[in-house]
Structures are given as structure tokens and as C-alpha cells.
Amino acid sequence: MKVEVKIASVDHDGRVYLGWTPVEVTARVVDGPGDGRTVAVTLRNAGTGGQLDISLSRTMQGAPNLDVDLPGDGSPLRFWLAGRFGRPSAAFGDAVLQVVERASGTVLGTTPAMVRIRKDANALTDEERDRFLVAFGTLNGRGTGRFKEFRDMHVGGRPLEESHGNMGFLPWHRTYLLDLERELQDIDPTVALPYWRFDTAAPRVFSHGFMGLPDPNGRVRFTPGHPLEFWTTDGQVGIVRAMTNFRPDDAPSGLMGERDTLGLGDDYVDFAVMEGDPHGLAHTRFGGPIRSPPTAPRDPLFFLLHANVDRLWAKWQWFYDRLGDADPAAYASGGPYRVGHNLSDTMWPWNGVTTAPRPSTAPGGTLAASTLVTAPGPSPSVRAMLDYKGAGGGPHQGFDYDDVPFWRDPAVA
Amino acid sequence: MAPDGFREAYADALDNRPRERPRPALAALARRPSDAGGAFQSADPAQPRIAGAGPDPMKQQIAILSDATRPVAEREEALATLQAAAFMGPKFNPYRAAYRSALRQVAIDADAHLRAQALESLALDKDDYARSLLLDGLEGRRDPLVPKAKAVQLLAHDDHGAALSVAHRVLDEADDPQAQQEAVRVLASDPGSGSRLLGLYRDRGATAELRVASATALHALDPGLFEPEARRIVEDDDEDPDVRASSLGALAVIPRYASTRNDPAFVGKVEEIRNSAADGPLKTSTDRYLSERSE
Amino acid sequence: MEAELSTAIARIDAIRKRPELRDELVALLCERSTIYRGLTAGQAERLRGYVLASFRATGTPAAAMPFVVEELESGADAYAVAGAAKALLGSRDLPSGVRDLLVTAADRIAASDEYVDHDRFGIGGASGSRSAHAEILEAIVAIDRRSHERPGSCCATRPPTIGPAPTVQTPFGNCCDGPGVSQASGPPENGTSIPNAVLQDQSGNRLGAHEFFIGRASVVTFFYTRCMNPEKCSTTITKLGVLQNKLGKAAIGNQVGVAALTYDPQYDLPERLFRYGRERGMIFDERNKLLRSVEAFGEIEAFFQLGVGFGQATVNRHRIELFVLDKGGRIARSFLRAQWESDDVFEAVEKVA
């Protein structure tokens, strides 16, 4: 007798990846005792790294162990499984779901998994860092994906108006990051995009082994053989990033910290002011392409910086309970805004629309697909990018931040 | 981190600390209403481009940046604020002309650091005035505004510009190692420079930094030229270990070189290096090469 | 190069005072003019902007209008686009839709706005000058005023007047064309067949031009992957993908070849071509290719009389250009400078398929 577990959150090889959002799981007995009888089992979190919570309903209040009786005839039992907030994985397989027969203690099924979460880049293990860097270097080395279209995606004029200086700044960049992360995960499914907390010191990030350190001319140097050493974007070889504002072991100065940013207000319109400070100022803490909008994505640090911007939005959404699009304060309720920035608008370039006032070309195609989830679809709307966790009951998008729970603490909410 | 009480604790921390506000100039720009029709609407001559009464915070920042009598630190912060504002795309458009004009003025400022920042901003924007200033400095028509290496690097931001002839000249002069390293990167966009890059990559008399910079440029320009030389260098035990590590790093990570794993002799050599090399970049590269899946 | 540029500027300044010589200025707008050789893209745009703005003083001949419209429709350089707006004011016979062109031009250059001074050749105006955006708005106001004061004088409903560019010898070459041109600066139609240059496609396959272009009707356009203006090459290849779709659904679909050749064949190796096309929705098969000339690009350039100039590294300026070839590899129709519509190209190729 054994128990077969099916989790609808797998990669091309059938390996299970989870975030904080509970996903539906079914377990059924194979070669069991037959009709009318049940098998008493414990669903058990048995990992050594990433931890799992199990529940019979879609809640963040699952438990590491859950006793259930599985039908002996092989009918499936449905339950929910999520990563335990605060206990993400460091590698695939360090999270494990076991099914144990209560009477005998026999293990009837084992499912290795990964609680794959976007983490503080400065706190990654060496292995996590290297997996990320190799995937990033590989993607860049392909010469495709987000690295070829920068010239057309981020140039001034209409393309920049799709993504900046308007209400859709945050949803557009959330999509941009998700697109990149999915391309990275196509290379290595264990990779999640890390974020650079630009309000704290990150000496491990600013090192020769990670994002590199500049020489006096701002030319970024790496340890020989580093996966980003042959970085090429837009015909430009290498990375230029002078550290003009802070030393590698200090935090940047002169921009708003996390709590001040969340304190901008509980209405999206107030929070969106963060596009200037801290977001814009974070870009200007350096010299080099990252300091200028049309060239900023040439620097791989751009994506870590923007992951932090997105994390701040995600945390604001969680803190103020502003995920649902029915909530007028969850997004800009005024308008209408320029096309692409209203709640129901789809976003360029993923929508492929090339008629004015959209840009006349939309390179790169639709949003990269994920094997784990279907949301937000190939051509997402602004609305689709708000509730990325599926907290309102809809589908989640397959990413989470290490310090933003699935939903609000029930004791407070 | 237990979820219970997490938000409560966060809320306490949020409330019980002095609150910092965003920079007023940036907050004011960010709060400016976004128009519905994009610049189509703002192009209507009946609509003033900069609305509102009172001193305009962005104009004030431009004035501070341009004012050579003010402290440099203050002007640098004004520059950072303006550059941050530039990320707000269309909202900053009404100030672009004045901003660019101020940058051109600061590009010849007495303060070297401020000058370099202004020149870089302009160069990233492929500004022709910045190009001419940099060229004049390199060609002796004026005192250089930035070090030679920086000038080459800034000119290289415009691959439709004038960097190519400068790069060849800097390599010919061979009197500034940093500038040479910047120069070889420029050649990555010149189809006629493949053999020059190959020569520099294999030149054992050159520094490892220059050779690796040449390798990165050669890879970008013509992978077909890079790959055999990278393999040769990896296989050569007398070669510089850092150049070998970098070369193998590229073969390990970049998908188009995955076919090198189909060559048992080469893979065997990498295994041999791994077994014999001391801990360091070369050994790390062999580990990475041998562990990477081929795509 | 600098000396030739100075000579040209002096000549332009002289023509500004002698309007009867203004046709010479039109010749200076042709990318093939020797004056552009070796210039950076920025210099080339500035020179064009200066020439265009000169028409404000000399009056704008009809032959210049395709260049003016082109700049307003797809130009990316603030100085040059503002120069085109001034040129518009030099014309007494404005084509339809120019007001909309000006509005979209103002939109497009807003993010690269700068102070401009078209009165003397140089870089940037002083802070007291007017910005390029303001110049364009001024042109809109002037056109509105003209329309109000003299109804019917502006923005007629008929299409823009686009006649053949005059054949004018200048010290910088005679790049504009004589009889047989359907639009400015184009090659003769129904002339000889495309030269049998050796080409390579996006997959690395070599083929002769005749192999691809003779025996079936075809559409061929030009681009390069390093193009900085998304309104040009990126848009051209995107639209080519749309045209492919349209042809694919039509009866003539399997009888028409669709190709784009790069202006930058040494840099645009097959892999670069493949990526560029794929990311813009192009379909690749035996009838649909991105191509580079392996050698003798000059023959191709001469045959199509391409509107392209080169700096020291790569292209410094090019026009939008698409040609419909008949089954004999002869040019049957040219679409030059203005953005082409896939319906129009479809119709043109249908006639020769």
C-alpha cells in the first residue's frame, strides 16, 4: 500500500514548488484496503530546510502535521499545502511532505518540494547566490529575452510612458520582473529573483563574487570565472556602476527607508509617490547606466533594485489590506489615465498592441509562461497584477517575498 | 518568523519612530496628475506645459545644479534629485530641455566629480556636445575633463558615435592600461576588429585584465572566434590561471558553448584541472563547468 | 570630413539667403550624400535638422515634403524634428494630416527635448532659446492661425504632394533621382533585375539573390539590428510580421517571398538576425527570411539606391524603404520614407504575384 500525492504546482520535471499561498493537493491510497474502509494517516512536514503547513481549508494557519483518514478505495482526499512563512527553502528537496500511516508509522508517500521565495540578496547562501548568477549569466548569454529589447522597451518617449510617470509604474514593473524570473526559472527552476534592500547595508551583494565591485572608473570587476563576467547588453560589453554615494559595506544614504515608504499613506495614490523617493533615488546612488532610465536595465542590479521596489509594494498591499481590485484605495481610483495605466488596461509590450498611443513596436512577445500557475496570463492587465498571491481566492502568480506573508495576521485583520 | 503577531509588531515599529518624508521636489512631481492622453494632450498648445503657481521645485533643482557658487554637495544632491525625477518619464518631460542645458553647463564645471557625473548623464543620452567635449579632451584641443579611461568609456555608450577610432588609437598608444581595457570593449561592436581582439586575448605579454576584457569583447563580437581560443587557453597549463578561469567561466555558462561538453578530450582536461588545481577561481570554474547541465 | 562639413554648412548658409537655390538643399537630405560619410548619428541628425530648418527661410519645395513628413512621422532627434516643423511653415501647400503629424512628433520627442537654435549650426541652444518641443507647438499654432485666416490654405484633404526630387548637382554628390521615381530618392521601377549577390539567411544558409527573388513576387525591406530608432527598424520588422500573417491567410501567400536585408551585414550575423526577427513576430521558412549580404553589399545598395549613410562604426542614418519586386526580380513598387501600411503593400504585391 502506498499513497499517491498530486500537487498542481510542478515544473517540467514534475518537481513541486510552493510559496506562501496554499495550493490544492490530493492524496489517494493505492493498493489500499478497499471500499468502506479508511487508512488513518498523518500528513507530515518532514523537511530539513523549507517548512510546510498543511490544512483542510485554504488558510495561512495550517499546521506541520495533519491527521486524516484516506478512503481505502482510492478516492482522493483534498487538502491544502503552503510554505510556512519565515521558513523558505534554500534548495530543492529540503522541504518534504510525508504521508505516514498512524498505526504502523510506515511512510506511505514522500514528496520532495521547494518553498521557492524571493529573498534578501544579502542573505542568500553561497549556493543560492551561485544558482541565481549562473541562471542570469546563462539567460544573458542566450542573447534573447529581456536583454535584447531594452533598446526598444526602455527608450524615451512612448515606451517609457508605458512604464513610468503614471499609475501603472508598479504593476508594469511587477510584470517585467515576473517575465524575467520565469525566464530564469526555465533555466533553473530553483531560482527566485532576490531583492536588494537599498535602505540597508548589503556587503555580500556588493562584492566581487556577487554583483561585483567597481574600479576607479566605475568598471565592475568580478572574481575570474564569475557567471556575469561576460555580461553583454545592447551591444555593450561588461557593466559600469560606480559607487558614488556609499561604500560597499554601508547602506546608501539620502533615500527613504522601508517603513517610511510604507508610511506614505494607505491609499495607492499616496504610496505611488515612492516612484521618485526611494525608487528614483535608489537608481541615482550609483554612477553608470543604472542612473538613467533608457539604460538602467543594462545593469543586472536593476532587477534586484526593482525586486525591492516590488517587495515594498507587496508589503504595503499586505499591511494595509489593499490587494483586492474592488477596493478603491488598492489602486488609483481616479482617472482615466493614459492607456496602459487604468485598472482594466492590458500592458505593453506583452499585449502586442502597436497602434498609437502605444509604441509602434512590441518586441519580446507575451509574458513568459510558468508550469506552476496560469496567472496572470500571457497578456496581463493592470488589474491582474494586484492580487499576485491569490489572497482573494483567485489564482496566484508563483512568487512571494520572504517578509510578506500570504495574508494578514488573523489576530490583527 | 512566526506569522502570529507579525503585522502587529510591524505596525508598532511603523508608528513609533520619527517619520522621514520623501524629498519635496520628487514628491511634488510624483503627485502631479498623470494625464489621460499622454503627451498627445500635453502637446496641445493651449495647455501650459508646467502648470501651477509658485516656485517650481524642479526648476529650483535645475537652478541649484547650475549655480557654481553653491556648495558642490548641494549641487550633487540636486543632480541626483533631477536624475531620480527623470525616472518619472512623462512627468519630467517639461524640464528636459532646461535639464540638458544645465548638464551641458556643468560638464565643464570646475569640480571634477560633478563634471564627470554631468558628462556621464549626457553620454548615456548620446549627447553630441558631450561627445565633442570628450573628443576634444582626448585629442588635445582642450584640457581633458575626465581621465582618459573614463572618456573612452563614456564615448562607448554611443555605438553610433565616434568611439571606434578613439579606441584603436588608445590601443596603439598603449600608455594607459585602464584606458586600453575600456578601448577593447569598444571593439566589440566593430566587425573589423575580430583579429585585433583575438591577438590581444592570446597575448601573454598583456595583463590578465586586458586579455579578459578582450575575451569578453571577442565573445560578444564573434563567438566563433572566441570559442576555439578559449578552449586552447583552458587546456594550456602554462597559461595565466585567471585568464583560464574566465575563459572556462564563459564556456560553462553561455549556452552556445555547451557543445564543448560533447568533446570528451576537453571535458577530461577540465576534470584533470579540477583535480590538480588549488582552491581558487580556476577550480571554481572547473566545478561550474562540470556541473552545469547543457541546454 | 570636418572640412567637408564646414564647406557644406557655409553653402547652406549661403542658400538661406538665395532661395532660388533651395533645390540644392533637398539633395543634401539624401542619406547617400557624401556629406554624411563618417559622421556620427548625432552629427548626421543635426545636419539634417539644420537643412530642414533652412526651408523656413527659402520656402519649402514640394520635393522636400517627403523628407519633412518622414522626419515628423518617425524622426527621433529633437533638433531634426523641430527643423522639420520649421520646414513645414516654409510650405504654402501643406499636405493633409500635418497637424496630427506635428502633435505626434511633439509627443515623440518630448522625452529627448532640448533647446534648439536653427539660426546657426552648432550644438544646443542657450537656456534662453526655445526648446524643440516648443518649436513644434509654435508650428501647430501657426498652422492653426493660417487655417483660420485663410481657410483652405492648409491641411487639404488630398494626400501630400510628393513629386520626384530634382536632379541637382552639388559638391556633395547627386543622390536624388531622375525620371521614373515614384517617390523621392527611389530607384527606377521596372528596370533591371536584382543582382545575384551571395546572401545568408537567419539560419546561416547561403543562397543567391536570384534563388530567392526570381521566379516569384517578393517584398523586400531594409533594416539593421543596432538601429536606435524604434519607429524605424523595430517597427519595420514588426510590420513585416503582420504582413506575413496577412499573406499567409491569402491565396497568393505561397507565391510571395518576404525578406528584409540588413544594412549592417558584417555585424548582423545570422544569430542576430534570427533573434531580432523572432522577437518581433517574424515567421521563418523558405519564403520568409532575414538576410545579410555575405559580400558585395554595395551592389545591393546601388541597385535599390538605398537611402542609407554610414558613420565610422555603423549606419548613421537611413530612411524607411520597402520594395515590391516582380517575378523577374525587378522593382515594381517602392514605399519610401513614409511609414508603409501592410494593406498597401499587400495590394501592390498582389498585382505582380
Chain A: nearest CA to C206, how far in angstroms? 23
| Residue C234 sits at the chain A interface (C-beta within 8 Å) | yes
CA distances from A184 to A133, A144, C142 (A): 10, 12, 53
**From start to end of chain B, where are the E strands?**
none
| Residue C101 sits at the chain B interface (C-beta within 8 Å) | no
The contact set of A with C (CB < 8 A) is 143-144, 148-149, 151-152, 155-161, 235, 352, 354, 356-357, 359-365
Contact A59, A37 (CB under 8 A): no
Compute the distance between CA of residue C185 and CA of residue A113 in angstroms, rounded to an integer: 65
Mean pLDDT computed over B180-204: 96
B205: pLDDT confidence band, cut at 50, 70 and 90?
very high
Among C127-136, C240-249, C310-319, the least confident range: C127-136
In the three-class reduction of DSSP (H, G, I as helix; E, B as strand; rest coil), residue A252 is classed as: coil
B201: pLDDT confidence band, cut at 50, 70 and 90?
very high
Closest-CA residue of B relative to C268 is: B191
Omega before A289 cis (within 30°)? no
In B, which residues are within 8 Å of C41 by CB distance?
126, 158, 160-161
Mean pLDDT computed over A83-94: 97
Q: Do A152 and C226 touch (CB under 8 A)?
A: no
B35: pLDDT confidence band, cut at 50, 70 and 90?
low
pLDDT at A343 over 80: yes
Q: Do B101 and C140 touch (CB under 8 A)?
A: no
In C, which residues are within 8 Å of B104 by CB distance?
124
pLDDT given for residue B47 in this prediction: 45
Which residues partner with C289 through β-bridges?
C259
Q: Which of A128, A66, A141 is nearest to A300 (CA)?
A: A141
In B, which residues are within 8 Å of A214 by CB distance?
none
Chain B: nearest CA to C195, how far in angstroms? 24
Closest-CA residue of B relative to A408 is: B7
**Angle at which helices B194-202 and B223-235 cross, to 10°:** 10
Mean pLDDT computed over A211-233: 97
pLDDT given for residue A326 in this prediction: 87
Among B11-15, B176-180, B243-247, C181-185, the least confident range: C181-185
pLDDT at A153 over 90: no
| Residue A323 sits at the chain B interface (C-beta within 8 Å) | no
Closest-CA residue of C relative to B133 is: C123
pLDDT given for residue C253 in this prediction: 84
Q: Do C113 and B100 touch (CB under 8 A)?
A: yes
Chain C: nearest CA to B172, how far in angstroms? 18
Q: Do A156 and C235 touch (CB under 8 A)?
A: no
ipTM entry: 0.93
Q: Do B217 and A237 touch (CB under 8 A)?
A: yes
Which of B7, B113, B241 is the closest to A409 by Cβ? B7
Q: Which of C216, B167, B157 is nearest to A295 (CA)?
A: B157
Rounded to the nearest integer, the mean pLDDT of chain A is: 93
Among B284-293, C104-113, C300-309, the least confident range: B284-293
Q: Do A86 and B1 touch (CB under 8 A)?
A: yes
| Residue A333 sits at the chain B interface (C-beta within 8 Å) | no
Q: Do C313 and B159 touch (CB under 8 A)?
A: yes
Mean pLDDT computed over A18-34: 95
Compute the distance between CA of residue B143 and CA of residue B134 in angstroms, rounded to an integer: 10
Compute the distance between CA of residue A111 and CA of residue B143 in angstroms, rounded to an integer: 69
DSSP A86: T
| Alpha-carbon B186 to chain mean position | 13
Alpha helix segments (H runs only) across A243-383: 258-262, 268-271, 281-283, 301-319
Helix (H) or strand (E) holding A212: none
Closest-CA residue of A relative to C107 is: A157
CA distances from A25 to A7, A31, A40, C263 (A): 5, 20, 17, 56
| Residue A161 sits at the chain B interface (C-beta within 8 Å) | yes
**From start to end of C209-285, where are the E strands?**
217-223, 256-262
Residue by residue, DSSP assigns C289-315 as EEEEESS-HHHHHHHHT--EEE-SSSE
Query: Could you tell me if residue A196 is left (phi over 0), alpha (psi between -120 and 50 degrees) or otherwise beta?
Result: beta
Prediction pTM value: 0.93
Q: Do A164 and B87 touch (CB under 8 A)?
A: yes
Q: Which of A317, A339, A308 is nearest to A268 (CA)?
A: A317
Contact A172, A351 (CB under 8 A): no
pLDDT given for residue B68 in this prediction: 97
Q: Do A217 and B150 touch (CB under 8 A)?
A: yes
Q: Look-up: residue for cell 507565391?
A: C255
User: Using CB atoms, which chains have 3+ pairs under 8 A with B?
Assistant: A, C
A145: pLDDT confidence band, cut at 50, 70 and 90?
low
In the three-class reduction of DSSP (H, G, I as helix; E, B as strand; rest coil), residue B257 is classed as: helix
Rounded to the nearest integer, the mean pLDDT of chain B is: 90
Closest-CA residue of A relative to B294 is: A187
Which of B14, B91, B113 is the closest to A165 by Cβ? B91
Which residues partner with A219 through β-bridges?
A240
pLDDT given for residue C3 in this prediction: 79
Q: Do B34 and A167 touch (CB under 8 A)?
A: yes
Cell of A26: 490530493
Q: Do C231 and A360 touch (CB under 8 A)?
A: yes
Which residues partner with C222 through β-bridges?
C261
pLDDT at A248 over 60: yes
Side-chain-facing half-sphere of B182: CA atoms under 13 Å = 26
The contact set of B with C (CB < 8 A) is 38-40, 42-45, 49, 89-90, 93, 96-98, 100-102, 104, 125-129, 131-132, 158-165, 189-192, 222, 256
Contact A344, A384 (CB under 8 A): no
Query: Which is it for the CA torsion B266, B269, B271, B277, positive or negative?
Result: negative
- In angstroms, the first-to-last Cα distance of chain C is 45
| Residue C42 sits at the chain B interface (C-beta within 8 Å) | yes
pLDDT given for residue C199 in this prediction: 98
Q: Look-up: residue for cell 547543457?
A: B294
Among B76-80, B160-164, C98-102, C127-131, the least confident range: C127-131
DSSP A411: T
Which residues partner with A168 through β-bridges?
none
pLDDT at B294 over 70: no
pLDDT given for residue B99 in this prediction: 96
Mean pLDDT computed over C246-252: 93
Read off the pLDDT of residues B87-114 as tens digits, 9 standing for 90 and up: 998 999 999 999 999 999 999 999 999 9
Closest-CA residue of A relative to B116 is: A287
Using CB atoms within 10 A of its CB, is residue A329 exposed (0-12), middle (13-18) or buried (19+)?
A: middle
Q: Look-up: residue for cell 598583456?
A: B206
Q: Do A157 and C108 touch (CB under 8 A)?
A: yes
Helix (H) or strand (E) holding C130: strand C130-131
Closest-CA residue of B relative to C45 is: B128
Mean pLDDT computed over B62-69: 97
Read off the pLDDT of residues A291-316 as tens digits, 9 standing for 90 and up: 998 899 999 999 999 999 999 999 99
pLDDT given for residue B18 in this prediction: 65
Compute the distance between CA of residue C284 and CA of residue C293 in angstroms, rounded to an integer: 18
Which residues partner with A29 through β-bridges?
A3
The length of chain C in residues reads 353
Q: Do A360 and C111 touch (CB under 8 A)?
A: no
| Residue C147 sits at the chain B interface (C-beta within 8 Å) | no
Q: What are phi and psi of C213, to 5 degrees?
A: -100, -10
pLDDT at C269 over 80: yes
A146: pLDDT confidence band, cut at 50, 70 and 90?
low
Q: Which of C293, C306, C274, C278 is nearest to C213 (CA)?
A: C293
pLDDT given for residue A155 in this prediction: 63
| Residue C347 sits at the chain A interface (C-beta within 8 Å) | no
A158: pLDDT confidence band, cut at 50, 70 and 90?
confident
pLDDT given for residue C1 in this prediction: 64
Contact B1, A405 (CB under 8 A): no
Which of A152, A157, A235 is the closest to C111 by Cβ? A157
- Provide the number of CB pairs (under 8 Å) joining chain A to chain B: 259
Q: Which of A262, A286, A289 is nearest to A274 (CA)?
A: A262
Among A255-269, A337-351, A375-389, B1-15, the least confident range: B1-15
Q: Which of C37, C72, C100, C113 to mutate to test the interface with B (most CBs of B within 10 A)?
A: C113
pLDDT given for residue B281 in this prediction: 97
Contact B155, B166 (CB under 8 A): yes
Q: Do B102 and C136 touch (CB under 8 A)?
A: no
Percent of chain A residues past pLDDT 70, beyond the cut: 95
Which of A292, A319, A337 is the closest to B10 by Cβ? A319
Side-chain-facing half-sphere of B204: CA atoms under 13 Å = 7
